[in-house]
Amino acid sequence: MKSLAINFWPTCSNRCVFCFCTEHDLVAEDLTPPSVHSAADVGKALVANRNECDWVILSGNEPTLNPDLLVVIMLAKRIGYRVDLRTNGRRLKDRTFCRRLLKAGTDRINITLLSADADIHDALSGAPGAFADTVAGIRNLVSLGDPEAITVYIVVTRKNVAWLEKHVTYLHALGIRDIQFNCVYHTDSDVVPSLSDVEQPLQAAIRTAVGFGMRVQVYGFPACFLGEYAGLASELTKSNEVMLGSRITDYHSVRTDLGKRKTKYCAGCMAGPVCEGTWKSYYGIYGEEEFKKRAIKRGSIYPKDPKKKS
């Protein structure tokens, strides 16, 4: 089965420096689906796609700003969907709202927290005070709901890459048990670190998280920079997403046909059949030379898969 992905609200309380919804080359290519946010329109889409999809993903910009959110979650549950909410977590600082979200039947909540350092998170979010709000939201969720149903997303950027291990320790102390590191999509070298600079701190942070018993996934990173953790790539297990209201109808094609590509050095790599390379925007900044001699020639491609999600 697939997931039905809905861009559920057109604005956000953050202004993340790497925001996928405002990234110029994506907008130019019309890859960001328009918002479908009235309860009536979403209801029609839920009914129309039920045979193909078992999850609905409510994202945005920021879905918790939509006044119809609770109604739509209850509607989706009644139609038989499981509900996945993707949020910056700021509204969840309101404990009553948090309780209502859970009572409505939300099955999984994915929150982005970019650093354990308030200044770094606020700078990357473009919103002073965002860190305090999001952390308060995480604390509410952990205390009111099932910590196993919360995932924290960490977008790896030039500003937070050196602090990933500390971030993991902080999240573990907050009660988080499930994290995902995302490779940033952007055209600016001030935002995007080189994969060579990411490789060591990312693997160290994963090692720390696995040591804590946390579930870990990574997204957007090529296998040859993940070492023994290549098996944690979410692309290997992610179900396809049907997208509404766009010339692009499914997320797999956005990723593999438009968003990512491999390099001239990838020929003969054992990971080739499953690795998608990385974002095209990355090669525009750093070129392909880092991939020279990276092709995996022997041995098991995915030797270790310590805590793969079910």
Q: Please report, as ranges, the residues that interact with ligand SF4 according to CB under 6 A.
A: 222-224, 262-263, 266, 269, 271-272, 275, 277, 291, 294-296
- Closer CB to ligand SF4, 104 or 226, in the complex: 226
Least spacing, CB of residue 212 vs ligand SF4, in Å: 27
Least spacing, CB of residue 226 vs ligand SF4, in Å: 8
DSSP collapsed to 3 states, the chain:
CEEEEEECCCCCCCCCCCCCCCCHHHHHCCCCCCCCCCHHHHHHHHHHHCCCEEEEEEECCCHHHCCCHHHHHHHHHHHCCEEEEEECCHHHHCHHHHHHHHHHCCCEEEEECCCCCHHHHHHHHCCCCHHHHHHHHHHHHHHHCCHHHEEEEEEECCCCHHHHHHHHHHHHHHCCCEEEEEECCCCCCCCCCCHHHHHHHHHHHHHHHHHCCCEEEEECCCHHHCHHHHHHEHHHCCCCEEECCCCCCEHHHHHHHHHEECCHHHCCCCCCCCCCCEEHHHHHHHCCHHHCCCCCCCCCCCCCCCCCCC
- Closer CB to ligand SF4, 53 or 223, in the complex: 223
- Closer CB to ligand SF4, 18 or 302, in the complex: 302
- Closer CB to ligand SF4, 72 or 230, in the complex: 230
Least spacing, CB of residue 270 vs ligand SF4, in Å: 7
Least spacing, CB of residue 251 vs ligand SF4, in Å: 20
- Closer CB to ligand SF4, 109 or 192, in the complex: 192
Least spacing, CB of residue 268 vs ligand SF4, in Å: 9
